[in-house]
């Protein structure tokens, strides 16, 4: 038995701390200031401003373990390696070292700490295209310095060896990926690290973020050359513990055992799907993302319902997902305290969602029994999926019991249409934001600080930020306050913000300790995240001066002078939830 997951997590952090990287805790799964994505899918999301050149309070070298949720591979879950929720071991160079050093570090961690053999490692590098040249430096480092033989170094195009941007625009670059051959037979002569069969398992990705994809789709060189490395934690644990699948590791042992005990039929794939989906849903629920029909909530709903469906397939009766979630909390609660803090909410939401699904299942079955075509059309199958949550496999099974066929390709066509539509919707909805660093989003970020302080001046110091969502078109700010604001109060707040804009105040930034920042009167929500050192933005004077209008702990970025903001207008004030008010505001040109 190799290294337990708890030890491996810590050894990773130590390895990079010993090499002058500062540890930053995991950011939430729900992005805080970046509406361009639904969930954090990689450790680099929250670091976008720093990849673009913003100074990080902890320096140029960072290390973390980040919670990630991605549904891109949801159909692959059930094999030996794919997951929707995963922990990503990440480390960064923000304009410090580059390709050679980072390849040395990753390889050093694999061989010195995890005792992986060089002979088992395969690598891939970027082959080059019209946007960027071939990555010769990585190729040569792997071959000549590390000593990976040519036949284990593959060159691929952008599809395999380029990472980012996360949304339409943003930092990105070529990457070199590392794989381990599981020894499973190749699926064909073309089988290689990029293949989706289980022969090769990706164990890491070193991204060299030196480009920015702009709105016109061009790749501009960034001023700062960064390294963004992500290593899939569960897969490293799998190899380190000598397991054949991620589901056999100590991370999943309790969860899988629970499901196997509940199941009446043996079907390992279904058990793995349930384990993955409920683990992911548990983490999302821990951040209070409730199952709904849209956006984030829909992702959670889909995960839970898919798990319930597979539960039925293996004969599990009655509500069971909360029992699986208990195992997740048991295993991960000490590392992610939000799981324990929201334990009861997680279980009750899971129970509620299972009940709701039971009801739509019944209705869906009624509709299904009315079908008399020789063949169930793609549209009908899609409707069963869309309205009642029937996965295609379920419709197919039920259909075959009735001697009917299902038009699978028709279903897939409908599904694709729907996906394209919702993706377009999401793109529109989440356009802008700090994810793409648009100028307007940065302005709204500064306006949010002014608004925060103005609210405290008008309503009192009990006001503090409970949420912020910025797009290129508006800001949305949630704050603690018990009553609806009066017209007069709103007017006062608006006037105060506009006054600060008209004064043309300079925006200062300082890096200091949480204690000093607080001592100087800074407010801030996310102070615990950074441990010791934090960045503070003060508007209208340096942090230690009496003149500053606002002092707030914040990662940035911000504009340089408030005169850039235009005219601030509050469009709406409403309740967000109990004790929390919400303001929507815009910036207009003068």
- Residues lying near ligand SER in the complex (CB under 6 A) are found at 42-44, 90, 163, 205, 207, 228-230
Query: Which H helix or E strand runs over 136?
Result: helix 136-140
Nearer to ligand SER, 27 or 444 (CB): 27
Contact (CB, 8 A) for 485 and 581: yes
Nearer to ligand SER, 35 or 90 (CB): 90
Nearer to ligand SER, 102 or 471 (CB): 102
- Tell me the pairing of strands 405-406 and 375-376: parallel
Nearer to ligand SER, 40 or 313 (CB): 40
Nearer to ligand SER, 229 or 553 (CB): 229
Region of residue 527 (phi > 0: left; psi between -120 and 50: alpha; otherwise: beta):
alpha
- The least distance separating ligand SER from the CB of residue 369, rounded to whole angstroms, comes to 45
- Picking from 273, 203, 206, the residue whose alpha carbon sits closest to that of residue 233 is 203
CA distances from 354 to 291, 317, 357 (A): 11, 11, 5
- The least distance separating ligand SER from the CB of residue 432, rounded to whole angstroms, comes to 21
Nearer to ligand SER, 56 or 481 (CB): 56
The rounded Cα 552 to chain-centroid distance in angstroms is: 25
Query: Would you call 528 exposed, middle or buried from its count of C-beta atoms within 10 A (0-12, 13-18, 19+)?
Result: exposed
Residues 6+ positions from 585 with CB-CB distance below 8 Å: 447, 451, 474, 475, 477, 568, 569, 570, 571
- The least distance separating ligand SER from the CB of residue 92, rounded to whole angstroms, comes to 8
Nearer to ligand SER, 125 or 565 (CB): 125
- The least distance separating ligand SER from the CB of residue 219, rounded to whole angstroms, comes to 17
Nearer to ligand SER, 2 or 46 (CB): 46
HSE-CB for 433 with a 13 A CA cutoff: 26
Nearer to ligand SER, 163 or 530 (CB): 163
- The least distance separating ligand SER from the CB of residue 171, rounded to whole angstroms, comes to 10
- The least distance separating ligand SER from the CB of residue 375, rounded to whole angstroms, comes to 42
Contact (CB, 8 A) for 85 and 276: yes
- Picking from 36, 52, 48, 54, the residue whose alpha carbon sits closest to that of residue 558 is 54
- The least distance separating ligand SER from the CB of residue 64, rounded to whole angstroms, comes to 10
Query: Would you call 277 exposed, middle or buried from its count of C-beta atoms within 10 A (0-12, 13-18, 19+)?
Result: buried
Nearer to ligand SER, 84 or 465 (CB): 84
CA quadruple 252, 253, 257, 263: dihedral sign: positive
Nearer to ligand SER, 47 or 304 (CB): 47
Asked if the bond preceding 165 is cis, omega within 30° of 0, the reply is: yes
Query: Which H helix or E strand runs over 427?
Result: helix 408-429
Query: Which H helix or E strand runs over 535?
Result: strand 533-539
- The least distance separating ligand SER from the CB of residue 204, rounded to whole angstroms, comes to 8
- Which residue of this chain has its Cβ atom nearest to ligand SER in the complex? 230
Nearer to ligand SER, 230 or 433 (CB): 230
- The least distance separating ligand SER from the CB of residue 227, rounded to whole angstroms, comes to 9
- Picking from 269, 313, 306, 235, the residue whose alpha carbon sits closest to that of residue 78 is 269
- The least distance separating ligand SER from the CB of residue 207, rounded to whole angstroms, comes to 5
Nearer to ligand SER, 42 or 271 (CB): 42
Task: Identify any residues that bridge with 173 across adjacent strands, giving them in sequence order.
Answer: 163
- Picking from 127, 116, 282, 285, the residue whose alpha carbon sits closest to that of residue 203 is 116
- The least distance separating ligand SER from the CB of residue 2, rounded to whole angstroms, comes to 23
Q: Where are the beta strands (DSSP E) in 293-421?
A: 375-376, 405-406
Write phi, then psi, for 36 (nearest 5 degrees): -80, -10
Token readout for 365 is 């079955």
- The least distance separating ligand SER from the CB of residue 88, rounded to whole angstroms, comes to 6
- The least distance separating ligand SER from the CB of residue 509, rounded to whole angstroms, comes to 26
- The least distance separating ligand SER from the CB of residue 76, rounded to whole angstroms, comes to 16
Token readout for 212 is 């920015």
Nearer to ligand SER, 44 or 565 (CB): 44
- The least distance separating ligand SER from the CB of residue 494, rounded to whole angstroms, comes to 40
- Picking from 244, 26, 9, the residue whose alpha carbon sits closest to that of residue 113 is 9
Nearer to ligand SER, 207 or 304 (CB): 207
Contact (CB, 8 A) for 284 and 300: yes
Q: Which residue has the tokens 């793409």?
A: 436
- Tell me the pairing of strands 567-577 and 475-480: unpaired
What DSSP designation does 18 have? T
Residues 6+ positions from 67 with CB-CB distance below 8 Å: 26, 27, 28, 29, 40, 85, 87, 283, 336
């Amino acid at each position: 038995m190799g290294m337990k997951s708890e030890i491996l997590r810590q050894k990773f952090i130590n390895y990079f701390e010993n090499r002058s990287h500062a540890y930053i805790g995991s950011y939430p799964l729900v992005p805080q200031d970046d509406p361009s994505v639904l969930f954090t899918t990689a450790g680099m999301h929250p670091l976008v401003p720093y990849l673009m050149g913003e100074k990080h309070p902890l320096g140029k070298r960072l290390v973390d373990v980040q919670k990630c949720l991605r549904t891109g591979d949801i159909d692959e879950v059930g094999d030996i390696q794919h997951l929707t929720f995963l922990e990503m071991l990440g480390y960064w160079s923000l304009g410090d070292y580059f390709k050679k050093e980072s390849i040395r570090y990753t390889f050093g961690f694999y061989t010195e700490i995890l005792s992986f053999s060089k002979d088992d490692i395969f690598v891939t590098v970027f082959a080059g295209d019209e946007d960027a040249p071939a990555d010769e430096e990585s190729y040569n480092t792997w071959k000549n310095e590390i000593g990976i033989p040519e036949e284990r170094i593959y060159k691929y195009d952008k599809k395999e060896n380029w990472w980012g941007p996360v949304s339409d625009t943003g930092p990105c670059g070529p990457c070199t990926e590392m794989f381990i051959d599981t020894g499973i037979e190749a699926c064909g002569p073309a089988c290689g690290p990029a293949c989706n069969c289980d022969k090769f398992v990706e164990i890491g990705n070193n991204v060299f973020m030196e480009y920015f994809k702009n709105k016109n789709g061009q790749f501009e060189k960034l001023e700062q050359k960064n390294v963004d490395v992500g290593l899939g934690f569960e897969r490293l644990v799998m190899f380190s513990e000598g397991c054949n699948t991620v589901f056999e590791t100590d991370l999943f042992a309790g969860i899988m055992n629970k499901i196997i005990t509940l199941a009446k039929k043996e079907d390992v794939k279904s058990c793995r799907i349930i384990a993955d989906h409920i683990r992911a849903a548990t983490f999302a629920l821990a951040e209070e993302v409730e199952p709904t029909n849209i956006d984030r909530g829909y992702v959670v709903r889909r995960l839970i319902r898919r798990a319930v469906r597979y539960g039925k397939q293996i004969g599990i009766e009655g509500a069971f997902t909360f029992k699986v979630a208990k195992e997740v909390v048991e295993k991960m609660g000490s590392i992610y305290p939000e799981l324990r803090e929201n334990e009861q909410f997680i279980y009750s939401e899971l129970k509620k969602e299972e009940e709701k699904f039971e009801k739509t299942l019944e209705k869906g079955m009624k509709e299904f029994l009315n079908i008399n075509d020789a063949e169930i059309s793609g549209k009908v199958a899609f409707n069963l999926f869309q309205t009642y949550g029937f996965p295609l496999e379920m419709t197919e099974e039920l259909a075959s019991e009735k001697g009917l066929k299902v038009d699978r390709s028709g279903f897939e066509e409908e599904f694709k249409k729907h996906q394209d539509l919702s993706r377009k919707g999401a793109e529109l909805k989440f356009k802008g934001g700090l994810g793409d660093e648009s100028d307007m989003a940065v302005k709204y970020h500064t306006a949010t600080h002014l608004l925060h302080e103005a609210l405290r001046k008008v309503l009192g110091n009990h006001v503090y930020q409970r949420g912020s969502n910025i797009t290129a078109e508006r800001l949305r700010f949630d704050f603690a306050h018990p009553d609806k604001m009066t017209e007069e109060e709103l007017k006062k707040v608006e006037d105060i913000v506009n006054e600060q804009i008209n004064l043309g105040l300079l925006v200062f930034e300082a890096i200091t300790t949480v204690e000093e920042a607080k001592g100087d009167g800074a407010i801030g929500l996310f102070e615990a995240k950074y441990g010791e050192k934090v960045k503070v933005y003060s508007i209208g004077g340096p942090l230690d001066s009496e003149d500053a209008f606002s002092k707030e702990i914040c990662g940035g970025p911000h504009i340089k002078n408030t005169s850039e903001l235009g005219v601030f207008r509050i469009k709406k004030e409403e309740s967000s939830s109990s004790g929390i008010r919400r303001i929507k505001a815009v910036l207009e040109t003068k």
